[in-house]
Amino acid sequence: MVYVSRKEHFNAAHKLYNPAWSKEKNAEVFGPCANENWHGHNFDLIVTVKGMPDPETGFVIDLKKLSTLIRKQVIERLDHKNLNLDVDFMQGKLASCETLVVEIWKILQPEIKTISKYGVLHAIRLYETPRNYVEYFGE
């Protein structure tokens, strides 16, 4: 069992804002992250797939195909976008990194088998800044 990881990146705007709360409570809980005019980040996304290497290619998964899959299914929907306004799968959800990694898992997990017979999704890691990151392992 070998674990294979691929890093992609995207730039996006967002704000942390709970619409069930007043503007004041949002400012109190989320601080400058609640700025109604938005702020943004360069996000780094690491996708890890685990499995037995294919004896014919030596690959758990073809990293070019994994990169293409991530870009098509995830990056194109997030890059240069507003996470609160522009992203279909984030509608009605808090635009936190914790929400994002779970949603990205839901998108990618069933797709991995379309490009690899040996690999299954193991982890999603998302860096919001070089000092803050979140991970999800599907449970």
* Residue 79 exposed, middle or buried by CB count within 10 Å (0-12, 13-18, 19+): middle
User: Which residues in the 38-57 window bind a second copy by CB under 8 A?
Assistant: 38-42, 53, 56-57
> Closer to a second copy at the Cβ: 63 or 117?
63
List 12's β-bridge partners, or say none.
41, 81
Among 33, 41, 103, 111, the one annotated catalytic: 33
> Closer to a second copy at the Cβ: 21 or 111?
21
Which uninterrupted H or E stretch holds 8?
Answer: strand 2-14
Q: Residues 16, 93: contact at Cβ < 8 Å?
A: no
Applying CB under 8 A, which residues contact a second copy?
1-9, 11-14, 16, 18, 20, 29-33, 35, 37-42, 53, 56-60, 62-64, 79-82, 85-86, 93-99, 101-102, 129-137, 139
**Catalytic residue IDs:** 33, 80, 128
